[in-house]
Amino acid sequence: MLMLIGISAATIVPHLNGTLGRWQLRETARNLETTLQAASQWARVRQESIVFALDAKRGTFGLRVPPGVSSSGGGLLSVGRQSFGQGVEIVRMGGFTDQGAEKILAFRPDGTAPAAEIVLAGSRPDANRETLWQIAVDDHGTIRCEEKSVDEEGE
């Protein structure tokens, strides 16, 4: 009986680790998408600029009012600082502005921002496969989040 339990655990545990990794990657991508959407909506509703800030080294992101801008919300934002899931990393970023240790994307009072993208990766348990999530902001303020599976050979 113990041998059967041991064999079952040996086959199930690796799959659980892969499932957890995919879940953390998906949730991080969705949290980034939701935070970017909140920034666009906040800017549009309040008719004021808002900044999405990402610290790639620490794996954290959040929203804030730009320096020197007084907020009708009293400087308090409903979206606090969030963290990436374990094992999630940025593969590519474009369209963001460097500001010290952070990469920022400024949303204008009409809810639009310059075009930008973040591509996240996390390992998948099946051989020679990797899951990528792309979060893209177009210059009209539309935010998309898409999962993409890519072979290591680039196919």
Which residues form the domain of 73? 2-151
Tokens 């599976």 locate to 149
* Residue 59 CB contacts under 8 Å (≥ 6 apart), including other chains: 83, 84, 88
Which CATH number is 51's domain given? Answer: 3.55.40.10
Q: Using alpha carbons, select from 62, 37, 39 the residue that is nearest to residue 50.
A: 39
- Least confident interval from 29-38, 64-73, 95-104: 64-73
Digit-coded pLDDT (tens) for 22-47: 888 899 999 999 999 999 999 999 99
pLDDT of 40 reads 95
Where residue 151 falls among pLDDT bands split at 50, 70, 90?
A: low
C-alpha 14: how far from chain center: 25
Evaluate if residue 82 carries a pLDDT over 90.
no
Q: Based on the structure, what is the number of domains in the chain? A: 1
Q: Using alpha carbons, select from 47, 31, 113 the residue that is nearest to residue 80.
A: 31
Predicted TM-score (pTM) of this structure: 0.78
Digit-coded pLDDT (tens) for 9-21: 555 444 444 567 7
Digit-coded pLDDT (tens) for 104-136: 999 999 999 999 999 998 855 543 457 789 999
pLDDT of 4 reads 54
